[in-house]
Amino acid sequence: MKIEQIYTGCLAQGAYYIESKGEAAIIDPLREVGSYIAKAEADGAAIKYIFETHFHADFVSGHVDLAQKTGGQIVYGPNAETAFESHIGTDGEVFELGDVRIKLLHTPGHTMESSTYLLYDESGREHAIFSGDTLFIGDVGRPDLAVKTDLTREDLASHLFDSLRDKIMTLPDEVIVYPAHGAGSACGKNMSKETWDTLGNQKEVNYALRADMTREEFIKEVTSGILPPPQYFAKNAMMNKSGYDSIDEVMAKGNIALDVDVFEAMANHEGALVLDTRSKTDFVASHIPNAIFIGIDGSFAPWVGALITDLKQPIVLVADEGREEEVLTRLSRVGYDNTLGYLKGGMTAWKQAGKDTDSIESVTAEELEQRMASESMTVMDARKPGEYASEHVDGALSFPLDFINGHMDELDKNEKYYIHCASGYRSVIASSILKSRGFYNIADVAGGFKAIQETGIKKSDYVCPSTLK
């Protein structure tokens, strides 16, 4: 038996490859499926099953593509309905895979079709669970994504309480927990950086598995302190239910080098959004006017999903040479399939063609401190509310990047804003969005709050984030 966790850090997502005696299963595959097929081919195995733990909201699964390319059977848990061929399993159903078995445990709560897959090894021992968003390391899945008129988040949390205690916590302590996500995902609020653990240890350290926890305490705990879900979650879940274009078609359409004039025409006459994915330093120094910055080396896909509200938005890319295909792939993982091409030759070609460029004023934390001593100013904090509540520049305006599109009218274009986040990635994104909307009186604080902490700038008293509600 072979088990491989395929962890994608930028999405904080774990997919799994299981192989035994020439038969393989993939659990929660990402949109691009070539690597799974390659693994199976290397093992001389056929992909027999594609298990989905639930209708993922934070990425487009590769299940449909993978089934078409391999003949593997897509398996969902009870209550799932799909527009494509799939097997809707029953609670307790067992699937044979070589010398091992995989049992479906219906564990509703995060969503009503949520299921956990229990792997029995060659000896018939309970070896591991693939828990999807039912159980994370240090946390459990948020219960507010599948709220319906007849089902509140408290109802879902109550289902999750039963699922954990009746189906998960009754398993042996030595069972390994393989979740669908880790720290950085918006599917939970307190996930560990660890990507797997034993169930026994989770029973000791995971707040949601406390043995003497009442149902009422559990519901209160898991429904408090969660931010509104990113706007693309519901759209990705719908794509996973209804199907989508093949990744091959998406790549063929988007992986096209555009010369400067064609690139500019697409931006000007076809309404394509210019998405600049280079480093924040390069973008601050020089970029195409009105371009939006979301750097490929940060939490790229989640921020694209959070900030570009239309999945069908035409996009043209500015990318570092050789990384265009990577950008396209990461866009498609969250459902942005309408990329029309990328700028051939990058910013160098743009400048050589004599086209206009723009830049963002950048100040160091030390410069900010000096200016604060001599002038009245507004410091804008683009971090999440919890980060702001923990510690912030005295008098700073809390303006989380997550909600920037819905709060733009609260700002004054005549006022100057000094924008910072934790380290400088989110603040450059915020600056690019504000400039594209006509806010020209802004400056980015290089290094963000980490740099500010090294100065004498007055800050609020520190509060440990884990104590915040």
Q: In what order do the strands lie in the sheet with 292-293?
A: 257-258, 339-343, 315-318, 273-276, 292-293
Q: Name the pLDDT band for 284 (thresholds 50, 70, 90).
A: very high
Query: How far apart, in whole angstroms, are the C-alpha atoms of residue 176 and residue 184?
Result: 21
The whole-number pLDDT of residue 148 equals 79
**Mean pLDDT (the chain, rounded):** 95
Indicate whether 468 pLDDT > 80.
no
Query: How far apart, in whole angstroms, are the C-alpha atoms of residue 237 and residue 59?
Result: 8
3-state secondary structure of 286: coil
Give the containing element (helix H, strand E) for 120.
Answer: strand 115-120
Angle, vertex CA 401, rays to CA 399 and CA 404, nearest 5: 75
- Mean pLDDT, range 379-392, rounded to an integer: 94
DSSP 378-427: EEEE-S-HHHHHH--BTTPEE--GGGGGGSGGGS-TTS-EEEE-SSSHHH
Tokens of 373: 């001593």
Query: How far apart, in whole angstroms, are the C-alpha atoms of residue 313 and residue 319?
Result: 18
373 conformational bin, left if phi > 0, alpha if psi -120 to 50, beta if neither: alpha
Contact status, residue 136 vs residue 202, Cβ threshold 8 Å = no
What confidence tens digit (pLDDT) does each residue in 131-177 have? Answer: 999 999 999 999 998 887 789 999 999 999 999 999 999 999 999 99
What confidence tens digit (pLDDT) does each residue in 19-43 have? Answer: 999 999 999 999 999 999 999 999 9
Tokens of 245: 């274009």
- Mean pLDDT, range 355-379, rounded to an integer: 96
Residues in the chain, overall count: 469
The whole-number pLDDT of residue 190 equals 75
What confidence tens digit (pLDDT) does each residue in 312-360 have? Answer: 999 999 999 999 999 999 999 999 999 999 999 999 999 999 999 999 9
Higher-pLDDT residue of 416 and 226 is 416
Tell me the C-alpha to C-alpha distance, in Å, between residue 439 and each of 23, 271, 411, 416, 443.
57, 20, 9, 9, 10
Give the distance from CA 1 to its chain's centroid. Answer: 30
What confidence tens digit (pLDDT) does each residue in 184-218 have? Answer: 788 777 788 899 999 999 999 999 999 999 999 99
**Choice among 65-69, 182-186, 217-221 with the minimum mean pLDDT:** 182-186
- Collect all residues with Cβ–Cβ distance below 8 Å to 170 and sequence separation of at least 6: none
Q: What is the pTM of this model?
A: 0.89
Contact status, residue 16 vs residue 6, Cβ threshold 8 Å = yes
Give the containing element (helix H, strand E) for 276.
Answer: strand 273-276
Contact status, residue 70 vs residue 47, Cβ threshold 8 Å = yes
Query: How far apart, in whole angstroms, are the C-alpha atoms of residue 298 and residue 85?
Result: 36
Indicate whether 71 pLDDT > 60.
yes
Query: How far apart, in whole angstroms, are the C-alpha atoms of residue 236 and residue 271?
Result: 23
Indicate whether 88 pLDDT > 80.
yes
Please report where in the chains the tokens 């309404």 appear, as a residue. Answer: 271
DSSP 69-107: HH-PEEEE-TT---SS--EE--TT-EEEETTEEEEEEE-
